[in-house]
Structure formats: C-alpha cells, structure tokens
C-alpha cells in the first residue's frame, strides 16, 4: 500500500483539506481511470495529477505548453521534496542525458515535457522503456483549433492513447465551453473519460464593465482609487498600445512596464520575472501574456480594449485574485472595438464554421457587457452554470443601470442605416440622425435626411449607445469588405416592422455637454413631423423599392 492522498496532501504539500472535487479526481485516476478536469484558474488543478504521481511507483509525465510554467512547477515541487524534472529545449546535453537516465532508473516522480519534445520518436521510445503511471495534459484547451491558445502539437498527443493504452490520462483546463470540452475528449481522452466540472464562479472577483470616454484617464483613476501600489495586468489590443500605455502610466507615477510578443525574448522573460517577483508592478500586455502565470496576488486585471470573446475575457480576468482575496476585473470598451474585432474576424483565413463560432463568442461577450443585471449569471451562464445572481458587489448590483424601451429609436437608427446606403459607420449615421450638417453629409445629400432628423433633440451618446446595442444584438452587422460600414442584420425585420420591442440599457456615459441630461430618445409619434415622415415613407416605399418597414 502506497501513501494515501490525505497523507500526501498534508506531508508533501502542507495543506489540511482538499478543495472541491480534488479528492474525487485523484481517486479516479489513481484507480486507472481517464479524466477531464474543468476548473477555473487558481482552482487547484495541479494537485489532481501531482498527488496521484506520488501514490504509486513510476513516473507521471506532465505535458505543458510553456517552458516558464514547467520551470516554476518543478521548482515548487523540488522545494517540497518531490523528485521532479523538465525535459525541453532549454536543457544542455549533459542535463538532458542525466534526466533521461533518471527516468529510466525510476528516480523521478514527475517529468514535465514540452509537447514537441514528447512527440519525438526518441522520447516516445524512452517512455516505452520506463515505468509511466500517468499522463497529465495541462492546459488541454490548446488542442482546440478554435481557441486562441491552439498548439498544433497538442493534436498529435492522441499518439499517447495508441502507444500507451494501459496508462491513465488526465487532461486539465480552465476553458469550459461545450465545444472545447468535446474536442479534448475526442482527441486526447476517449469516450470513457470521466468529466469533472468545478464551479467557474470566482467569488472574490468584482466584475465591472464601462464605456470608454478617455480610456487611459479612466484606467488611471481606477488604479489610483482602488489599487494604488498593487500588482495588476492591463490588457491592450496592440503591441504599440502596451508600450504607450506603460509609458504614460509611468509618467503619471504608476510603476508600469510593457509586455508583448514582439519584444526580444530576453526582455520578455525579464518583464515576466519582474512582474512575478516585484510587488506593485503594473504590466501592460497583449494576450501573449498570461497563460500559466501563477502570481497569486494580482489585484486587478484591466481591459483597455474589448477581448475577442467571452472565453478570452473569462480566462484573462481569471488571472486576478488567485489567492482568493478581493480583486477587480475592470474593463472599458467602445463601439469601435466591436467593429475592429468583427472585421479582423471576417478578414481572417478561418473557415466558415470557425468564423461563426467566433462571432457567437463575441456576441456572448457583448451581451455580457450590455447586460443590465448582475454580471455573474451572465458570465457563468455561458459555461452552462446557473448562478442565482444579485451577488451584491459587481458594478450592476452596486449601481443597477436603468433600461428603457428603445423600440422606436432602434427603428429610426436602422432606417437611417438603410437610407444612407448601408455603407457608413456609426459616426456618420449618428450625424445624420442628430441633424448635424457636415461637408460630407451635404456632399452626399444626406442633409435631406437630416432635415427630417427626429433625433435632433437627443444627445449623441445615447444614439451611439443605441447603435452599439443594435450591433450587440446583431441587428446591425459590419460590412464584409471591412471598411467600417454598418448594414442591416438578418433579424432586424421584426423590429423594423414594430412586431417586437427592444429594451436597452441606458448609456452609462455622461454627455460631454453639461446641459444635456437626456438619456432616452424622445420621439413624439403624434407630432406632425412624425406623421410627415410616415407619409414620406409610404410614398418613397412605392417609388424606390424601399422595404415598407423602413420608417423614413
């Protein structure tokens, strides 16, 4: 009889109790079962294979995508007296030979291997001559071709099942959507694997989402107000923006550095090490930063730009508060973020299926952003998890946003998009709606529409909010050529016809003009102007083949 999981937990790791389903998972793989473990970042996935590794003779092979991640884990294990080693391209020939000999001699409890190294015939041959008690595939979502962490070598890990059918496999990830789950089972585990899903709620994270006004300034005051002198990650869309933001924050007296994939690998490593080891450093990074960063006391994750999907948002915000203490997930976004992501998506070389999925994931994120009630059920619902809501400390719980019946405003905005030829961006459409006369508007003859402008009395921010929420709901879509223009979406007919209504979240952005406090679009449908519009609509509908449901 080997040691029990409880003994190992206490004696080796120094913890008194298992968390969540850890014990159950350990029991399952120790008995030879395959397992898929879905647990949020910081949930404690590592113990699920580290303890089984120590329960029986032989070595557990851990496949991990990042060298830095392997190094950190091995250091921590060695510190606890566990015989752990790495096998990857960073080793010199002598160390590698020694590690291989240790494996053959059964001296290792755990061996961390990069997938490309593992897949070599020589390594597979070495494993065949060694005693292997478990394969652990960490960050298993890297097998998903639809995700942004896709690693082609992960697809080839199916070879483990063929070559080592007797050895149990455990795959672990914090990415939990149905699709990724299915891909991991298909490619790495097989149908007989047992799936363990932990709750994805991160009760210590306070979510908040706002609109961009002056994004940098908003970020600065957030950091100053809530997290002065604390560690945080600021995600930016572009490499350049990470550098500009870091430089600007530094000027404002915040200790900040940049990180992106375009940096020299030495500089990148240095930035990462500084972030992990120093207190109170803010790292402005692209999505290249983060996977496997095990820094427990990241007090906030800020998004200066919208991530591309709800998955990415969840993963990235999940890097905050791994120590269980209060942390913030803070984001500001704008309509142009949405348009940019949609365009990148449409222009990418991805197949139609993938584009469709990516669109859905972005839609899900937008729906989350525009959500007017507690953030938690909106976020967790995406992972198929119910949450009672009213957490009491997300932004919406603390300051519930108002909603309004935006049906008429939506119809007008959609009609304006149609009338201006479905090729202009939100800015121009809002100009027309508010009766602004710019040179461009006059040239295009859109001032003819402006004279009818019913939105004149309403402030531009509200119209922008309407446009954004129409985009979020798919009633507007960007033109496929990627010029930034908006077209009517496929499902806006019912809305235009007035057969359905739409509730919108009131724009949280205060108007730039102090005098304007109006938050809804006032449309007096009894007014002579409105009547004239209807009349005009009916006439032009006959003459110009305008769909009869376009209202002006």
Distance CA 45, CA 24 (A): 12
Q: Is 391 in the site for Zn ion (CB under 5 A)?
A: yes
Distance CA 488, CA 410 (A): 11
Q: Is 18 in the site for ligand ADP (CB under 6 A)?
A: yes
With CB under 5 to 8 Å by kind, the binding choice for 229 among Mg ion, ligand ADP, Zn ion, none is none
When the beta carbons of 47 and 82 are compared against ligand ADP, the nearer one is 47
Distance CA 465, CA 243 (A): 30
Q: Is 42 in the site for ligand ADP (CB under 6 A)?
A: yes
Q: Is 111 in the site for Zn ion (CB under 5 A)?
A: no
With CB under 5 to 8 Å by kind, the binding choice for 536 among Mg ion, ligand ADP, Zn ion, none is none
When the beta carbons of 124 and 397 are compared against Zn ion, the nearer one is 397
Name residues contacting ligand ADP, limited to 501-520 (CB under 6 A): none
132 close to 164: Cβ distance less than 8 angstroms: yes
- Minimum CB separation from Zn ion for residue 388, in Å? 10
The contact mask relative to Zn ion for 325-364 (x = CB under 5 A, - = no) is ----------------------------------------
Residue 32 DSSP one-character state: T
Three-state secondary structure call for residue 432: helix
**Which one, of 40, 544, 334, 367, lies nearest residue 359 by Cα?**
367
- Minimum CB separation from Mg ion for residue 138, in Å? 6
Q: Is 4 in the site for ligand ADP (CB under 6 A)?
A: no
- Minimum CB separation from ligand ADP for residue 6, in Å? 11
Q: Is 394 in the site for Zn ion (CB under 5 A)?
A: yes
Q: Is 256 in the site for Zn ion (CB under 5 A)?
A: no
Contacts of 331 (CB under 8 A, 6+ apart): 208, 209, 210, 302, 303, 306, 313, 369
Distance CA 240, CA 160 (A): 41
- Stretch binding ligand ADP (CB under 6 A), from 17-25, 219-227, 445-453, 512-520: 17-25
- Minimum CB separation from Zn ion for residue 366, in Å? 18
Alpha helix positions (H), 238-351: 239-251, 265-277, 310-317, 335-347
Distance CA 494, CA 488 (A): 12
When the beta carbons of 39 and 283 are compared against ligand ADP, the nearer one is 39
- Minimum CB separation from Mg ion for residue 160, in Å? 19
User: How buried is 436 (Cβ within 10 angstroms: 0-12 exposed, 13-18 middle, 19+ buried)?
Assistant: middle
The contact mask relative to ligand ADP for 294-313 (x = CB under 6 A, - = no) is x-x-----------------
Distinct helix (H) and strand (E) counts, the chain = 25, 17
Report CA-CA distances (Å) from 24 to 51, 194, 198, 270.
12, 11, 12, 39
> Can you give the binding site for Zn ion, defined by CB under 5 A?
374, 391, 394, 397
> Can you give the binding site for ligand ADP, defined by CB under 6 A?
15, 17-19, 22, 39, 41-47, 294, 296, 322
């Amino acid at each position: 009889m080997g040691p029990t999981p409880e003994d190992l937990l206490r004696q080796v790791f120094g913890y008194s109790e298992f968390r969540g389903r850890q014990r159950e998972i350990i029991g399952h793989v120790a008995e030879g079962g395959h397992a898929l473990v879905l647990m949020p970042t910081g949930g404690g996935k590592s113990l699920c294979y580290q303890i089984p590794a120590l329960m029986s003779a032989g070595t557990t092979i851990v496949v991990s995508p990042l060298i830095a991640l392997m190094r950190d884990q091995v250091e921590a294990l060695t510190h606890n007296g566990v015989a752990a080693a790495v096998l990857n391209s960073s080793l010199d020939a002598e160390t590698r030979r020694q590690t291989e000999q240790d494996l053959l001699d059964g001296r290792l409890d755990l061996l961390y291997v990069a997938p490309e190294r593992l897949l070599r015939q020589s390594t597979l041959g070495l494993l065949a001559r060694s005693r292997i008690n478990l394969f652990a595939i960490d960050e298993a979502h890297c097998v998903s071709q639809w995700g942004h962490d896709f690693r082609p070598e992960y697809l080839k890990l199916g070879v483990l099942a063929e070559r080592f059918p007797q050895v149990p496999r455990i795959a672990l990830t914090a990415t939990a959507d149905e699709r990724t789950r299915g891909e991991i089972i298909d490619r790495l585990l097989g149908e007989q694997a047992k799936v363990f899903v932990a709750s994805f709620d991160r009760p210590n994270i306070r979510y908040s989402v706002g609109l961009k006004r002056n994004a940098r300034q908003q970020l600065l005051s957030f950091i100053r107000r809530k997290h002065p002198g604390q560690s945080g990650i600021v995600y930016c869309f572009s490499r350049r923006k990470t550098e500009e933001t870091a430089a600007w924050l530094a000027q404002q007296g915040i200790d900040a550095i940049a990180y992106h994939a375009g940096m020299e690998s030495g500089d990148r490593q240095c930035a990462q090490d500084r972030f992990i080891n120093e207190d109170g450093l803010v790292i402005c990074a692209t999505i290249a930063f983060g996977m496997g960063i095990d820094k427990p006391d990241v007090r906030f994750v800020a998004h200066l730009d919208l991530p591309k999907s709800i998955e990415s948002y969840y993963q990235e915000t999940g890097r905050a508060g791994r120590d269980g203490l209060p942390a913030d997930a803070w984001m500001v976004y704008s309509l142009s973020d949405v348009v940019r992501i949609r365009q990148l998506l449409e222009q990418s070389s991805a197949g139609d299926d993938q584009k469709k999925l990516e669109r859905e994931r972005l839609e899900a994120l937008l729906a989350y952003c525009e959500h007017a009630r507690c953030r938690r059920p909106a976020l967790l619902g995406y992972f198929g998890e119910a949450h009672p809501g009213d957490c009491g400390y997300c932004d919406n719980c603390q300051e519930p946003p108002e909603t309004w019946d935006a049906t008429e405003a939506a119809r007008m905005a959609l009609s304006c998009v149609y009338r201006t030829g479905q090729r202009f961006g939100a800015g121009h459409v809002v100009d027309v709606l508010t009766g602004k006369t710019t040179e461009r508007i006059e040239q295009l003859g859109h001032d003819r529409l402006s004279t009818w402008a019913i939105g004149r009395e309403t402030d531009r921010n509200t119209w922008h909010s309407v446009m954004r929420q129409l985009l979020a709901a798919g009633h507007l879509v960007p033109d496929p050529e990627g010029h930034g223009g908006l077209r009517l979406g496929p499902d806006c007919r019912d809305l235009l016809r007035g057969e359905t209504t739409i509730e919108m979240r009131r724009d949280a952005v205060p108007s730039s003009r102090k005098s304007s406090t109006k938050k809804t679009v006032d449309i007096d449908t009894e007014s002579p102007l409105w009547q004239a519009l209807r009349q005009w609509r009916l006439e032009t509908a006959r003459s110009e083949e305008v769909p009869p449901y376009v209202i002006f």
